[in-house]
Amino acid sequence: HVGAPLPCNLIKLVDVAEKNYFAAKGEGEVCVKGPNVFKGYLKDPGRTAETLDTDGWLHTGDIGKWLPNGTLKIIDRKKHIFKLAQGEYISPEKIENIYIRCEPVTQLYVHGDSLQVN
């Protein structure tokens, strides 16, 4: 549960049709705009363009839902990504799509488990 937006921020939900989330139904990718939102990645205009749209909205990648009391709840992620101990990012969907091609496999679920490093 995220709660209510800060007074200095605008929040909107945008459609994520491929996951069946639609802003008209009160669900979608959470986008944030305001003076406290970052302006971009240092020396990385490509990554900045992937995250900030031309109107200055930050696309968080979180799927949110407006609750009746006006607060926001995170219910999903647009992309599911795991960060490995070596710092590499992987998508469980990519792993699932490779293994599901094996004839004996009929169902598959990839689960990430936190690694405790002391």
CATH topology of domain 10-77: Luciferase; domain 3 (2.30.38)
Tokens of 16: 């994520």
The average pLDDT across 8-34 equals 95
pLDDT at 2 over 90: no
Q: Is the pLDDT of residue 13 over 70?
A: yes
The residues near 104 (Cβ < 8 Å, ≥ 6 apart) are none
State the average pLDDT for the chain.
Answer: 88
> Where does the chain hold its CATH 2.30.38.10 domain(s)?
10-77
User: What predicted TM-score, i.e. pTM, was given to this entire model?
Assistant: 0.71
